[in-house]
Homo-oligomer: A and B are copies of this chain.
Amino acid sequence: MNAATVIFQRLSESFWLNCKLFGLTLLFSVPLGFVVAFGSMSRFKPLAWLTRTFVWAIRGTPLMLQVIIIYFAPGLLFEMTPWGSGSSGRLVACTIAFVINYACYFSEIYRGGIEAVPRGQYEAGKVLGLTKSQIFFRVTLLQLVKGILPPMGNEIITLIKDTALARIISNKEIIMMAQEYASKGLIWPLFSTAIYFLVFVGGLTLLFGWIEKKMDYFRV
């Protein structure tokens, strides 16, 4: 096995960490975003205010800072860390920071999407005797999904690029791995990481284009 093969193998292994972070973040933040969105639209004003302030603070500070704080603050403040030692704890902490951050971003998209579905759609559902959950799942959900698809696509493409931030708490993601070679004077692995991201982003772009096309059969 020659050196280049080894390097590509190690790069791919470390990109797997980016992928895991990407997948886990989506898995949790997509539903959590709904919870946050409903919180911020709650008719119980204190809850709505609290949620909105939280979302504002998260959206107003760098994700990098959130990752650092979530990872170190418990250990430094309470002399104990929930993350354990070792690299799996780092990924967990990083994922939690990402999930919170992205749930806040998604919640704003959802909120816009929910508000964009015309009241008339809910009312038409009501007048036809549908239950609330039937109205949500049978009437508004698909319109909502269609409406938020473009901004969600953008945000999700940003997410894969953001996974590079995992290195801040020493998760050995692909760019950090490539930099290890760069510090030995070998620059091409650094350039190669671009390919991984471009392929991933290209795939996502195609995927979202496809879904948008699929949903083109109706117009809201």
Contact = CB atoms under 8 A, between A and B. Distances in A.
A69 B198 contact: no
A192 to B, nearest CB: 11
Given A72-B182, A73-B190, A182-B68, A175 B62 contact: yes
Contacts of A63: 161
A148 interface: no
A57 B187 contact: no
B61 A197 contact: yes
Nearest to A57: B198
Tallying the copies of this chain within the complex gives: 2
Contacts of A191: 69, 73
A64 interface: yes
Nearest to A158: B158
Contacts of A182: 68, 72, 76
Given A63-B161, A64-B175, A72-B190, 6 more contacts: A60-B197, A60-B202, A68-B175, A68-B190, A76-B187, A77-B187
